[in-house]
Structure 1
Amino acid sequence: MQIYVVEPLDTVDSIANKFGTPVEEIIFANQLIYPYKLAVGQALLVEFRPNQYRTRRVINGYAYPFISNYVLRVTLPYLSGLYIFSYGFTKEGEVVSPALDDQWMINEAYENDTKPVLTLTPFDENGVFSNNLITALVNNEQAIENLIGNLIYLMNEKGFAGLDIDFEYIYKEDRDAFTSFVAECTRRMNEYGIWVSVALAPKTSSDQKGLLYEGKDYGGLGAAANSVLLMTYEWGYTYSSPMAVAPINKVRQVIEYALSQIPEAKIDMGIPNYGYDWTLPYEKGVTKAKTIGNVEAIQLAINNGATVQYDDVAQTPFFNYTIGNEIHEVWFEDVRSINAKLNLIDEYNLRGAAYWQIMRLFRANWLLVESKFEVK
């Protein structure tokens, strides 16, 4: 596997000649757009043959039912699990299905030997995480019994192989009740051969303050579920100041704390498949960043003559560009930043990774994954 950073005067042809790689392979792998212009500082995957010493890992990806059929089909061969986002529930324990049919996704997953997973979220009628809905559920034994029974029936009927519990903004008073709920889900689901995972906000200590963190007991949830997903992204987010979405130094801190509470064989690391475009100057509470894809980010740099830079601490690419009187700052992921994250999986011997999300095709990422891991 080779990653090349574009220098001034480089062309696709000159880079192909330098590595003895067919031009068509570079164009295909990096989703280059005719007439194949490049941005200075752009990272290209130029060689991507599978390593004979690849380790076996679990690689999962989240997707909504409105994903492009093409994107799903070309991505599934690289995935262990397809996490379908998302199912909800009422405070009485009735299951709320997605507005769009997802059976076609389940069928496509099985055709590619990928396990379809039902993602359960406590969304209210506005599509926002509701901590009050969580409270109503986890403190009501009858509601829990109803929900688990309804989920088992639905999952067996539709063919789901796993359940992913993605509850956020849990009140600290509900921490132990939520852990008990996950444990009961795991016990009951495992009787039917259904795997249970739980998503964890990126904590770095047991006493970390904040609504995202206080309701999540890493040790307890690690024992309660079959596996956990560390949501190691969103340091840079829609309303934050411009910065990396998943800076490697912060990701490392979360992993090291998680390992003090949870066995390595149970831990999946979250990886973002997107970036953000901020308008400057940043004004807290006012500036709202636009979500963009990683391939889209590079095209934005090319179209505006921007030079891509690389932050060595965050190990993440970024650039600035100007349109009219507006100055923009973009942080995104490329094969360098993804490679750094994938290396952490082997360094800490984690179970694997999960991508949020796979709605936009980032082919170089999947070729990179294939070159490093044998997907379980």
Structure 2
Amino acid sequence: MSWFLLVLSSTFLVCRADLCPCESPELCHQIREERDFEVFVFDVGGKTWKSYNWNMITTVATFGQYDAELMCHAHSKGARVVLKGDVPVPYIVDQDNRTAWITEKVKLAKSQFMDGLNIDIEQPVEQGSPEYQALTDLVRESTEAFHREIPGSQVSFDVAWSPECIDKRCYDYVAIAESCDLLFVMSYDEQSQMIGDCTAKANAPLSQTLNGYEQYLNLTIKPTKLVMGLPWYGYDYPCLNLSQEGICSIAKVPFRGAPCSDAAGKQKTYKWITKQVNTSLSGRLWDDKQKAPYFNYKDSNGHIHQVWYDDPQSICPKANYVKSNGLRGIGMWNGNILDYSDEPVAKQQTAVMWNVLLGC
């Protein structure tokens, strides 16, 4: 009798794990509808998603803890919710390891009523190495497994702003693009490897950003495979020296072969930036060469800082490029970091940041 109860209890727990947590069971059905234009949002946790512009969103990649309430709400709006996928590249050289990893991800997605996978592997890989082929195989096998097990699911892969071995990420971008549903191009952190002067610069200068897309397209990767990722954050650089011309010299922090990097600064949210600029030394300034805003401020110790960021003016031409060149869509890192308070100015600033994603 005790054995029977144990089996019954175990069966009940398994069933409970797959019970729909939504008010309506239909909301646990995976999203299959394809949208003509993707608005791809990364969410890192918390409840700010309740204030997102859900009239626009098509996919949410969840990088925080699983939130059933978020899944239910996204499905009610016809938006996909996808898992984060990350794994050490040397581990996946072994076929059995790849298969086990993919199987686990499919099982987790099913149990949480999710709609796909966002593979976020930003590790260095040498061209032609065993890891080079294994990464391509992982993307292809993941896509095949998700499409087979969860019909209509979406598998995406995050790539650097350029395919030119940025941060020593020398991947087979053409094969990877063919193997998955879309590439999310991280058009930010573009100063991760500074070869020239060690000075504060824009997070995503316009010409450099758009040149990255031309490089992807020149590889004959279809524009409908590319989603432009934008930064809703900036970099706060302590200046070793601020020249009369306003050039901020920064500490030398090497990264993957480059003598300087944006690691000399600290990432700051758009929410922080919109408040700090109002009390800054300079107010908002505009660099016409990089097509980006910045400002200078003095910290409590009297040290000068220079902050570079993106706002609607710098995002506008990038969003227009997406539409005029037929890219698959647009998105950002990350959706949580705007000011979602009820303060009138914050509400207006946040609304504009969402709206400019569709161009101007």
Judge same fold: TM > 0.5, yes or no.
yes
Q: Secondary structure at the match of 2:252?
A: coil
Q: Of residues 52, 57, 60 in structure 1, which corresponds to 2:37?
A: 57
TM-superposed deviation, 1:291? 1.9
1:158 paired residue number: 112
Q: Of residues 110, 118, 133 in structure 2, which corresponds to 1:176?
A: 133
Change (3 A) 1:227 1:372: closer
Contact 2:163 2:173 in 1 (8 A): no
Q: Of residues 196, 201, 212 in structure 2, which corresponds to 1:243?
A: 201
Q: How much is the aligned-residue C-alpha RMSD, in angstroms? A: 2.5
The reply on whether 1:186 has 2:143 as its aligned counterpart is yes
Q: Secondary structure at the match of 2:337?
A: coil
In structure 1, give the amino acid aligned to 2:133. Answer: D
2:338 paired residue number: 361
Matches within 5 A, 1:1-376: 57-65=37-45, 67=46, 69=47, 71-77=48-54, 78-85=56-63, 100-122=65-87, 133-137=88-92, 139-172=93-126, 173=129, 174-191=131-148, 192-193=150-151, 194-205=153-164, 208=165, 210-211=167-168, 213-214=169-170, 216-236=171-191, 241-261=199-219, 262-281=221-240, 282-285=250-253, 288-323=264-299, 324-361=301-338, 364=349, 366-367=351-352, 369-370=354-355, 373=358
Q: Secondary structure at the match of 1:168?
A: coil
Contact 2:190 2:203 in 1 (8 A): yes
Gaps of 5+ in 2: 1-34, 241-249, 255-262, 340-346
Counterpart CA distance in 1 for 2:176 and 2:201 is 30
TM-superposed deviation, 1:368? 5.3
Residues 287-337 of structure 1: CA deviation (Å, up to 9, x unaligned): 842222224223212123422111122211001122453111011111101
TM-superposed deviation, 1:204? 4.8
Contact 2:42 2:61 in 1 (8 A): yes
TM-superposed deviation, 1:144? 1.6
Q: Secondary structure at the match of 2:331?
A: strand
Count of residues in Structure 1 that have an aligned counterpart in Structure 2: 289
Counterpart CA distance in 1 for 2:95 and 2:357 is 45
Counterpart CA distance in 1 for 2:312 and 2:136 is 36
Contact 1:196 1:227 in 2 (8 A): yes
TM-score normalized by structure 2? 0.74
TM-superposed deviation, 1:353? 1.2
Q: Secondary structure at the match of 1:117?
A: strand
In structure 2, give the amino acid aligned to 1:285. Answer: V
Contact 1:222 1:266 in 2 (8 A): yes
Gaps of 5+ in 1: 1-54, 87-99, 123-132
TM-superposed deviation, 1:202? 2.4
Greater relative contact order: 1 or 2 (C-alpha under 8 angstroms, separation 6 or more)?
Answer: 1
TM-superposed deviation, 1:143? 1.5
Residues 101-137 of structure 1: CA deviation (Å, up to 9, x unaligned): 4323222322333211111123xxxxxxxxxx21112
Change (3 A) 1:238 1:304: farther
Instruction: Say which structure is richer in helix.
Output: 2
Counterpart CA distance in 2 for 1:101 and 1:64 is 10
In structure 2, give the amino acid aligned to 1:267. Answer: L
Change (3 A) 1:222 1:196: same
Residues 235-263 of structure 1: CA deviation (Å, up to 9, x unaligned): 24699741111111111111001112210
Q: Secondary structure at the match of 2:122?
A: coil
In structure 1, give the amino acid aligned to 2:113. Answer: G
Change (3 A) 1:365 1:349: farther
Counterpart CA distance in 2 for 1:147 and 1:316 is 41
TM-superposed deviation, 1:64? 1.5
Change (3 A) 1:175 1:344: same
Task: Among all aligned residue pairs of Structure 1 and Structure 2, give the percentage whose two residues are the same amino acid.
Answer: 21
Change (3 A) 1:198 1:101: closer
Change (3 A) 1:372 1:278: closer
In structure 2, give the amino acid aligned to 1:352. Answer: G
Residues 49-73 of structure 1: CA deviation (Å, up to 9, x unaligned): xxxxxx95211111112x2x1x211
TM-score normalized by structure 1? 0.71
